[in-house]
């Protein structure tokens, strides 16, 4: 059965993008072979992606999950109906206002691999619904001071168990299992 993960590269102050949505701070740091091995492992284990659709329900070059390295089904949350889009061998399916269904469809597509949740809003919604099994966080050694937070506004305490920690040249890689979902804490 598929494992549902929040996968994000974030700053030490918990941001996933700068105030304008930019992520150029993620690039240009020296890396070690172990960093590349970590990234390769993540890429090889992802079987489907759930994220948010843009306002125009198009697939722009800068919005392709994992820069196009993955050829897996992508489920995009939206508020209006839209036919699936096929681009570069990837099917983008739009799911209207039912994130639990998007995750279930992604799990079915992923088989025994991971479902990667992308974006702060998607991640928080899935955490609050008890749909997340693990957090996979790659922490870059930078403080932005302001920007888009991964967990701001979660509004619930969620207990975690550390599964793995590693640090190499470019980032610290953290993996946590979700112990209590927000609905369990109610």
Contact indicator for 59, 89 with CB cutoff of 8 Å: no
Cβ pair 138, 6 in contact under 8 A = no
Task: Find out whether 27 and 52 touch, Cβ atoms under 8 Å.
Answer: no
Judging by beta carbons within 10 Å of its beta carbon (0-12, 13-18, 19+), is residue 52 exposed, middle or buried?
A: middle
Positive or negative, the Cα torsion across 53, 77, 22, 36?
negative
CATH topology of domain 4-179: Dihydrofolate Reductase, subunit A (3.40.430)
The closest of 133, 75, 85 to 106, measured between CA atoms, is: 75
Q: Among 150, 157, 178, which residue's Cα sits nearest to residue 17?
A: 150
Coil/strand/helix, residue 128: helix
**Domain ranges (residues) in the chain:** 4-179
Low-confidence stretches of the chain (pLDDT < 70) are: 61-62, 181-186
84-90 long-range contacts, Cβ below 8 Å, gap at least 24? 85/58, 85/59, 87/59, 88/64, 90/64
**Burial degree of 28 (CB within 10 A; 0-12, 13-18, 19+):** exposed
Residue 186: what pLDDT?
A: 41
The predicted pLDDT at position 7 comes to 94
């Amino acid at each position: 059965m598929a494992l549902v993960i929040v996968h994000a590269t974030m700053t030490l102050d918990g941001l996933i993008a700068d105030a304008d949505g930019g992520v150029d701070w993620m690039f240009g740091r020296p890396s070690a072979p172990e960093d590349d091995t970590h990234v390769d492992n993540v890429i090889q284990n992802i079987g489907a992606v759930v994220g948010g659709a843009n306002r125009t329900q198009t697939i722009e070059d800068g919005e392709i999950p994992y820069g196009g390295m993955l050829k897996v089904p992508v489920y995009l949350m939206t508020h209006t109906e839209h036919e699936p889009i096929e681009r570069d061998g990837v099917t983008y399916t739009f799911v209207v206002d039912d994130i639990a269904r998007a995750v279930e469809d992604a799990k079915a597509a992923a088989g025994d691999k991971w479902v990667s949740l992308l974006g702060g809003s998607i991640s928080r919604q899935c955490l609050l619904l008890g749909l997340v099994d693990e957090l996979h966080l790659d922490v870059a050694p930078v403080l932005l001071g302001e920007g888009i937070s991964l967990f701001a506004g979660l509004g619930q305490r969620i207990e975690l168990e550390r599964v793995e920690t590693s640090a190499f040249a470019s980032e610290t890689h953290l993996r946590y299992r979700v112990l209590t979902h927000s609905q369990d804490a109610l």
